[in-house]
Chain A
């Protein structure tokens, strides 16, 4: 019998702890706060699959997130599907958009690709702004259902759902990182021509990674309408979503799957703590200073810092 890896043990522990948390903790605030952290975590993990592993920077993360949210809104309105199905649908549609973005990598490298994703985000935003079925620029209201399975409240259910999604995302990212596929992605990041000539099917691998990234971001966005109950394009295509998706992996470290996880937990919880404890414009200032400090002190991310420390000790 093969040994169960520590990763899966910790994943199970996290999920069990999450469940216990919903049972024990009454204070709903924690569920909403952690929900946002987990949302950031999934976005960061997703961004890192393309940005960190494959070396293609996506500036349009917010668009995937928003399309995920709007897929959920549209299908909720049209068919009244249950949330899990909405999430699957959002994953499918954003995965498809990711696939499309993947084809951009055929010709566009480096910053050209990054700006293309930014352009794509603006084009998508304009479409949704003008799509009146989902409210257009006026925004859409989502009335959350009263049912919340066996949980005490709807936000507890959303929290648990997000926790499961986050664990799955991290598992996928980790699997990618250490597989043959992941090494192929790293080769692409280092030198695409050399990778091709070494037999790496670069296009297919890039398509796989953009699709996974897109789908994952869509998954992060799908429950969002039920979380805020009112979504308009301005808040869905949100600069902060895009900033966090990039900053969290950078701060955590991009080369290893744990990087975005650490970055998201650190930055996300700092943001939540600062938001409610320093109730003024100072909170954005602190977020700004934090970004600058973290990234200046550990330019390779926290993982990079730790690795360097270990290397020094070994030497």
Chain B
């Protein structure tokens, strides 16, 4: 038999990011099986070599050196999340490897590495593009909102998203009446929501992680937060378990997303992939539907695989060249990378929760609960505004 092609990476299987990391791993294994069923790459079977980084950046350099020096992998892809992607960069750069990356926000702004390719559809100016839609939607409404409150968790992604939001708000001429951050380990969010309410903002932008997203939504409901648009950068509202628990409290929230089962987003292969994912995810304690990250985890390997097949080589120079100029067809739609390795055009969706029923998981499997409002190209419905008055 042929020597397998080894693809190496580090992944968070324990620790803070493990929820997403394990989902990603399932998706990547589905891709491996799909490819191997079709005869592998360049006629060679594909093998994944990975280690758990325990969501600890300190582990990452060691893992990638091991992958390269001991396991002698042919290709590498990144771990999940900015904090765990960045520590691998110097090692990858020194070896001049192609580095498909999974959800790192603006990592390449620091490194300017021309073989870095980011699968997250945040766009050429990731931090700003992220919330562009949220504010664009707001400014279309009548009467025009005038004030905004920005609140974010003290952690990498949320702060970057909030920084982008600040820029967008300024560009839109909104007055920022509240702009604070909170530690992710906060237990009770009602005091924060009350302080926000005291400034009476038209819009509330929230940059948050799963536990605080839940806390914020619950507190907003309990306090009866009166605002016209609420959401924007809340991680966690994309996950089925949290959606089920929050239920009707979600209605009206406008939040970013990357893929939802709306008719406008039926890319080729995504349904089949999700069906396999649902099967594989059973009993693994990960998101049962996997709408958010897994398709992208599948896609970044798809891109790599397609590049290998197209160039018929494992030469990183050739691969990089191909990846820069080609538009790829993946389960997350057409992917084209820009100069800095980000998507050439942003496709951060803004979706609104609609008509959510209590205590029902299945409702989120299909369309109608998360309406795509932005970008226009993928729009599946109209905004309900204001959120709560």
Contacts and interface: CB of A to CB of B under 8 A. Distances in A.
Q: Do A and B touch directly, given a CB cutoff of 8 Å in the complex?
A: yes
Interface residues of B, number: 37
Contact of B83 (A32, A129, A143, A235): A235
B385 interface: no
Nearest to A137: B154
B63 A276 contact: yes
Contacts of A76: none
Interface residues of A, number: 41
B323 interface: no
B56 A235 contact: yes
A229 B52 contact: no
B155 interface: yes
Contact of B65 (A32, A138, A234, A238): A32
Interface string B89-112: 110001000000000000000110
A136 B50 contact: no
Given A136-B159, A137-B155, A138-B156, A272 B54 contact: no
B183 interface: yes
B57 A129 contact: no
B60 A284 contact: no
B59 interface: yes
A236 to B, nearest CB: 9
A279 B52 contact: yes
Interface string A20-56: 0000001111011100100000000000000000000
Contacts of A281: 13-14, 18, 52
A294 interface: no
Contacts of A137: 153-156, 159, 181
Contacts of A227: 58, 61
Contact of A231 (B56, B57, B62): B57
Given A29-B62, A29-B70, A279-B50, A234 B87 contact: no
A272 to B, nearest CB: 7
B51 A275 contact: yes
B62 A280 contact: no
A228 B65 contact: no
B299 interface: no
Given A138-B156, A281-B52, A232 B62 contact: no
A229 B90 contact: yes
A238 B56 contact: yes
Interface string A138-153: 1101011000000001
Q: Is the interface of B mostly helix, strand, loop or mixed?
A: helix
B255 interface: no
Contacts of B89: 229-230
A230 B183 CA distance: 20
A280 B13 contact: yes
A240 interface: yes
A158 to B, nearest CB: 10
A29 B62 CA distance: 6
Interface in A175-208: none
B68 to A, nearest CB: 8
A209 to B, nearest CB: 27
Given A143-B110, A143-B111, A283-B54, A228 B60 contact: yes
A126 interface: yes
A61 interface: no
B325 interface: no
Given A281-B52, A284-B14, A36 B111 contact: no
Contacts of B156: 137-139, 232
A155 B90 CA distance: 11
Q: List the 6 shortest-distance A-B pairs measured between CB atoms, nearest first.
A: A230-B86, A137-B154, A141-B110, A32-B62, A29-B65, A228-B87
Interface of B: 13-14, 18, 50-52, 54, 56-63, 65-66, 68-70, 82-83, 86-87, 89-90, 94, 110-111, 153-156, 159-160, 181, 183
Given A230-B82, A230-B87, 11 more contacts: A28-B65, A29-B69, A32-B62, A36-B58, A137-B156, A138-B156, A138-B160, A143-B111, A276-B51, A281-B13, A281-B52
